[in-house]
Amino acid sequence: MTIQQKIKDLRLELREHNYNYYVLDNATISDYEFDMKLKELQDLEEQHPEFYDSNSPTLRVGGEVTKNFNTVVHEHRMYSLDNSYSKEDLLDWEKRIKKLVDGDVFYTCELKYDGASISLTYENGNLLRAVTRGDGTQGDDVTTNIKTIKSVPLQLQGDFPPKFDIRGEIVLPFDGFNKMNEERLEAGEEPYRNPRNTASGSLKLQDSAEVAKRPLECLLYNITGRNLGFETQFESLERARQMGFKVPEAARLASSVDEVLEFISHWDVHRHDLPYETDGVVIKVNSLQQQEELGYTSKAPRWAMAYKFKAEQVSTRLNEITYQVGRTGAITPVANLEPVELAGTTVKRASLHNADQIEKLDIRERDEVFVEKGGEIIPKIIAVDLSKRPEDSKPTQYITHCPECQTELIRQEGDAKHYCPNYNGCNPQIVGRIQHYISRKAMDIEGLGGETVALLVNEGLISNYSDLYTLKKEDVLPLERMAEKSAENLIQGIAASKQIPFERVLFAIGIRYVGETVAKKLAKHYKNIDAIIEASVEDLIAVDEIGDRIAESVVEFFSSEENRMIVDEMKSYGLQLELSAEKLANQTDKLKGQSIVVSGVFETVSRTELKKMIEDNGGKVSSSISSKTNFLVAGDKMGPSKRTKAETLGVAIISESEFLSKLN
């Protein structure tokens, strides 16, 4: 078999597995086998760039960075939908329709997925472009990001119209959303509020590799174009499925408003069993001929109607307001409720967010409150039933002192939250900080878990993360449930963490607002911890993508003598507090401040390597050419439109070898 054939077969096979797994939810090989095959294809593609394919399954992992998303005018406008809330509304709508069209009217009933709308354009079965709804007339080109969503077919199967747009919704299923939030909490970051905003925010991330990590899905509901070869909405859904799109199976045909209402009442209850959020039902006139006759108003099709579910509410008693202290010292008030059933789960707590929220709604202990589960995962209190307020009730006095260490709380201007400033003496802050330090994305210390950290702190064995490196087996053996073997593993795990690279150590020490990405940027720019300690707010702000808030937080962190002492101790224990020699050797400032576009396929290095070289030398990889582009590195098979654009804008085009000699 030729290499070309092998590559072709692997792409086909991987496409098939992707489809089985992400569209049909029915995997036929193990993740491991899949990864091995993907790796094989990646290697072959690297060795044989002449067989490059912009829709290869290997592109699902992302990597391209977009600085500014191009605006694209929709060929077919993306309309909004009219809303209805009752049977009467629907009957009125039916009356209006029947005045405008002849013959019987059938309806397709679908679920209304709550995410971010997207329009995908396919030409000859290949995904050409993905554009957000924007203002309906024009949106942003987010193709690179969309390609990382595995349920979006890059190449269609079976029969398909030569050119069409298909519309759908990008959603983030609850499972994936919750997992993302667990990780954020672990990193000391505020959790995302709801799946919808997170989904739409994801589409505009600059780094497509970040998008690839998010468990997004694309659910399709509408094909537009000419000569499509089908006559009804219902049929079009079936056809879309056959082409390889993910089209939920819930859709039903209805021949009357009563049948539509049956569909609505069924899903009003069962939507809670779905893995993603829905906020209603969309009813569409089934015949495309009739749709055309009905046309559009200035904002919505006359042939479709949304029916919004009511957010579910219950009333229950608020027993007590308690306060939690996070690892950054942030205080979160929590409403402890009389347990109550809501939207299929038992609710015992609701977040009160902050003092303002409590004051605004005048929420008090022993109040009867209305709790709602809307888009947010954690239910919220939306109002107080004043008619049931006890006579002797008094307004809530927000705490003034930390519930854990009794230190007086502070609240900075512009900050909604109160903080406990007792950074080094407040137990949940100490424990939380060390738990963050050992967590997977930080130092990833094997053999040590969150509970053990709490034990170690409470037993007085450690009071900050550098103390971990002083622990001996004999110290930890007396701890509850600590066997000989686990004690050994723990000590070994701690010792092994001395090899963790600098950027992760920088993330692990838990400077507020310094997440993984910022830590990487700082490490790369300053190269060692001493340079960061010496940097002023102004210096820090001058670093690309570091804002005031981060800069101030870094300076504040290192202005603490205690923190600097901990860093010194860490140095003496042999932790990596500077970039390794190997990393440094490959890094220069040669391309500092330059914005560079890479296009085509290359001979001596792969695209990924080339991009890494640009970044290591201080340059920035951008995915589209603009007047700000310094130069374009052109490989083989570069698209003609890129070349034209570079030429019209006067952007220099250099070859792979010219680029490489620039660096040497």
Please identify which residue in 422, 439, 464, 576 interacts with Zn ion, judged by CB under 5 A: 422
**Which of 276, 325, 307 has its CA nearest to residue 176?**
276
Amino acid code (one letter) for 440 = R
Q: From Zn ion, ligand AMP, none, which one binds at residue 405 (CB under 5 to 8 Å depending on kind)?
A: Zn ion
Cα–Cα distance for residue pair 350/123, rounded to 1 Å: 49
Cβ closer to ligand AMP: 171 or 577?
171
Contact 582, 612 (CB under 8 A): no
Q: Is 112 a catalytic residue?
A: yes
Cβ closer to ligand AMP: 133 or 611?
133
Q: What part of residues 128-167 is at the interface with ligand AMP (CB under 6 A)?
A: 133
- The continuous run of DSSP H or E covering 8 comes out as helix 3-18
**Which residue stretches of 497-626 are H helix?**
502-508, 516-526, 529-534, 537-542, 548-559, 561-572, 581-585, 607-616
x-marked contacts with ligand AMP along 303-342 as a string, rule CB under 6 A? ---x------------------------------------
Kind of pairing, strands 368-373 and 107-113?
unpaired
Q: From Zn ion, ligand AMP, none, which one binds at residue 456 (CB under 5 to 8 Å depending on kind)?
A: none
Binding piece for ligand AMP, criterion CB under 6 A, among 110-118, 382-390, 547-555, 558-566: 110-118
> Is position 66 an interface residue for ligand AMP (rule: CB under 6 A)?
no
- The CA–CA distances, whole Å, from 425 to 457, 467, 604 equal 11, 15, 56
**Which of 112, 482, 86 has its CA nearest to residue 279?**
112
Q: How far is the CB of 538 from ligand AMP (least distance, A)?
A: 44
x-marked contacts with ligand AMP along 207-226 as a string, rule CB under 6 A? --------------xx----
Q: How far is the CB of 333 from Zn ion (least distance, A)?
A: 15
Cα–Cα distance for residue pair 444/439, rounded to 1 Å: 5
Q: What part of residues 402-421 is at the interface with Zn ion (CB under 5 A)?
A: 402, 404-405, 407, 420
Cβ closer to Zn ion: 512 or 642?
512
Q: How far is the CB of 66 from ligand AMP (least distance, A)?
A: 22
Cα–Cα distance for residue pair 409/399, rounded to 1 Å: 8
Q: From ligand AMP, Zn ion, none, which one binds at residue 402 (CB under 5 to 8 Å depending on kind)?
A: Zn ion
Q: Name the token pair of 243.
A: 């082409």
Contact 600, 54 (CB under 8 A): no
Q: From Zn ion, ligand AMP, none, which one binds at residue 426 (CB under 5 to 8 Å depending on kind)?
A: Zn ion
Contact 262, 253 (CB under 8 A): no
Please identify which residue in 110, 367, 503, 616 interacts with ligand AMP, judged by CB under 6 A: 110
**Which of 94, 116, 483, 468 has its CA nearest to residue 304?**
94
Cβ closer to ligand AMP: 136 or 421?
136
Q: How far is the CB of 140 from ligand AMP (least distance, A)?
A: 15
**Which of 431, 413, 236, 458 has its CA nearest to residue 325?**
431
127 CB-side CA count, 13 A: 33
3-class secondary structure, 239:
helix
Q: From Zn ion, ligand AMP, none, which one binds at residue 306 (CB under 5 to 8 Å depending on kind)?
A: ligand AMP
Q: Name the token pair of 82.
A: 């009219």
Q: Active site residue: 112, 373, 521, 611, which one? A: 112
Strands of the sheet with 595-599, listed across from one edge: 620-622, 595-599, 631-634, 652-655
Kind of pairing, strands 217-224 and 304-308?
unpaired
**Which of 375, 254, 309, 344 has its CA nearest to residue 111?**
309
Q: Give the interface size with ligand AMP as a residue count (CB under 6 A).
A: 12
Q: From ligand AMP, Zn ion, none, which one binds at residue 319 (CB under 5 to 8 Å depending on kind)?
A: none
Contact 174, 215 (CB under 8 A): no
Please identify which residue in 45, 64, 169, 367 interacts with ligand AMP, judged by CB under 6 A: 169
Q: From ligand AMP, Zn ion, none, which one binds at residue 404 (CB under 5 to 8 Å depending on kind)?
A: Zn ion
Cα–Cα distance for residue pair 540/551, rounded to 1 Å: 5
Q: Name the token pair of 407.
A: 């230190």
Cβ closer to ligand AMP: 250 or 654?
250
49 CB-side CA count, 13 A: 15
Cβ closer to ligand AMP: 130 or 519?
130
Please identify which residue in 218, 254, 260, 282 interacts with ligand AMP, judged by CB under 6 A: 282
Q: How far is the CB of 432 from Zn ion (least distance, A)?
A: 11
Please identify which residue in 56, 66, 117, 148 interacts with ligand AMP, judged by CB under 6 A: 117
**Backbone dihedral region of 35: left (phi > 0), alpha (psi from -120 to 50 degrees) or beta?**
alpha
Q: What part of residues 425-484 is at the interface with Zn ion (CB under 5 A)?
A: 426
Q: How far is the CB of 399 from Zn ion (least distance, A)?
A: 11
Q: How far is the CB of 419 from Zn ion (least distance, A)?
A: 9
Please identify which residue in 4, 47, 54, 80 interacts with ligand AMP, judged by CB under 6 A: 80
User: Given the rule CB under 6 A, which residues bind ligand AMP?
Assistant: 80-81, 110, 112-113, 117, 133, 169, 221-222, 282, 306
Active site residues: 112
User: Given the rule CB under 5 A, which residues bind Zn ion?
Assistant: 402, 404-405, 407, 420, 422, 426
